[in-house]
Structure 1
Amino acid sequence: MKLASIHFYPVKSAAGHEVHEAEVQPWGLAGDRRYLITDEHGGIITAREEPSLLACLPLLDGDTLTLTGPHAAPLRVVPDSAISTVDMRGTPVALTDCGDAAARWLSELAGRPVRLKWLDDPTRRPVNPAYGTPEDRVSLADAYPLLLTSNDSLAQLDDWIAKTAAERGEEAPAPLPMHRFRPNVVIDDVGTPFAEDEWRRVRIGEVTFRVTKGCDRCVLTTIDTATYTKGKEPIRTLAKHRRRDGKVWFGINLIPDAPGRIAQGDSVAIL
């Protein structure tokens, strides 16, 4: 098996980047999901509620974030000193506000008042203690430092989706792009679809990871990133083939044992 691609997302629920190599930090890939968007009352806003946020392509140069999008000129983000607490899945996390200019830029894109927040100290947020140690940390990802998916599993899912369409007399859809699932690492040559469900430890290049749990999927995966409209797939077909505990599943969550670097083409081993 080998590492096929690496992806990171500077702003939670905005567009991401594919990179040739990346630094694995204790809380996730370097630069991954250190920013998020809130409403004017401090509640988290994601593309689940505002699909237009996927049109924002954040560019990261060192510690400098620049927002780019179809509606306005690029904007360099300058965080200010205001700090507020945001509820991250039941855990209060202190975040730094990124100023009125960033708020106006994103509000115009979202069509509602929003603000941009920055996790200046990534050691603030612990991982769910049911799946990690007291020392484990995560940035602003939903729950865990990295998400792994496999191309074999996506190929199987695409086959299932085509069969679902045929059974319903619908036109066969185009294969889903992997970026619908917003993974950090994508694996090739697994051999068996969804074999990753059974993994407990994995090594990618020089970095070893613990597998915490599978990743339950939401309506974000149904958004077409070209049109920003929601459809029925893949949730409809995952519910038919990959439903358990009232949820649907695709991919696995990882916690790194120690920092290191990974690169496309790295070997992948199950430990």
Structure 2
Amino acid sequence: MLRLSALYRYPLKSGKAEPLQQIGLDKLGLDGDRRWMLVDEASGRFLTQRAVAKMSQLSALWNSAGGLTLSAPGHAPLDVALPGSEAELRGVTIWRDTLRVPDAGGAAAAWVSAFIGKPTRLVQIPLERARSTEAGFGKDDDKVGFADGYPLLLIGQASLDDLSARIGRPMEMLRFRPNLVIEGGDAFAEDGWKRLRIGDVEFRVVKACSRCILTTIDPQTGERSADREPFATLDTYRKTENGAMFGQNLVNDGVGRLEVGMPVTVLE
């Protein structure tokens, strides 16, 4: 039997993961997932672990006031309020998308600039300013926050076990930054799924996820693997014309709640 074995939220794009036991879903995937982002102050271009590996050590968790609490080794924690309707809008660029979103203010900017080591701003994306998912995949009204392209990423535990066996040492699931981890199936069974249901929510599988050098960053230490694993091995048996694939991008149809342990039903 397939079951949901783990849930992860990433409040800040490319920040630390937040393991969850249960969580709600809205139009943009898991409540609060990748709704905040760091951008270069001068260009507005988004920052991730691909260029700033130490972002893996940056914790940004939702707080009881509805904002974000930033923390990192050597830096005092900072509570950041959710930007209100009067907040300054900042032009930002994420991949090919350019949009204007609320800026989190001067105190947050000073904190993240000190952490990154150059002038940086913290921005937030409300539902009404969400981006469209990649054209040609999914539906025209599918939306996404600051995740790379789609609201949710699913990985089968058996797929990671297969990869770890080929490498010869266990790989951390968080190198791949999934939202949903499924156990009970065969390795890469998720490649053949089109629709599934968890609890009362149905999901569409819209596109395989092409992996990059970010997978070589140890999520605990922020250090890159000297042997380029697990990307090097993935590239030997999961490579396609669009890259080395690992995991499936999903869109949720409707809202509801997920909880670790729920059964997963493949509908198509």
TM-score when normalising by structure 1 = 0.92
Shift of 1:256: 0.7
**What is aligned with 1:81?**
87
Match of 2:99 among 93, 99, 104: 93
Are 1:228 and 2:230 counterparts?
A: no
Match of 1:237 among 227, 233, 237: 233
Are 1:70 and 2:73 counterparts?
A: yes
Q: Distance in 2 between matches of 1:268 and 1:46?
A: 32
Letter of the aligned partner of 1:268 in structure 2?
V
Letter of the aligned partner of 1:22 in structure 2?
I
Letter of the aligned partner of 2:159 in structure 1?
S
Shift of 1:123: 4.9
Residues 53-202 of structure 1 aligned to structure 2 (within 5 Å)? 53-62=55-64, 63-78=66-81, 79=83, 81-162=87-168, 174-190=169-185, 192-202=186-196
Q: Distance in 2 between matches of 1:35 and 1:246?
A: 28
**What is aligned with 2:28?**
27
Contact 1:107–1:114 under 8 Å retained in 2: yes
Q: Distance in 1 between matches of 2:12 and 2:165?
A: 32
Q: Root-mean-square deviation (CA), in Å?
A: 1.3
Gapped runs of 5+ residues in structure 1?
163-173
Are 1:265 and 2:261 counterparts?
A: yes
Contact 1:122–1:137 under 8 Å retained in 2: no
SS class of match (1:229):
coil
Deviations 1:131-170 (A, max 9, x none): 12221111110000100001100000001111xxxxxxxx
**What is aligned with 2:211?**
217
Q: How many residues align?
A: 259
Deviations 1:91-125 (A, max 9, x none): 22221111121112112222222111110235531
**What is aligned with 1:36?**
37
Gapped runs of 5+ residues in structure 2?
none
TM-score when normalising by structure 2 = 0.93
Identity fraction in percent? 39
Runs of 4+ with deviation above 4 angstroms: none
SS class of match (2:49):
coil
Q: Distance in 2 between matches of 1:122 and 1:21?
A: 25
Shift of 1:246: 4.5
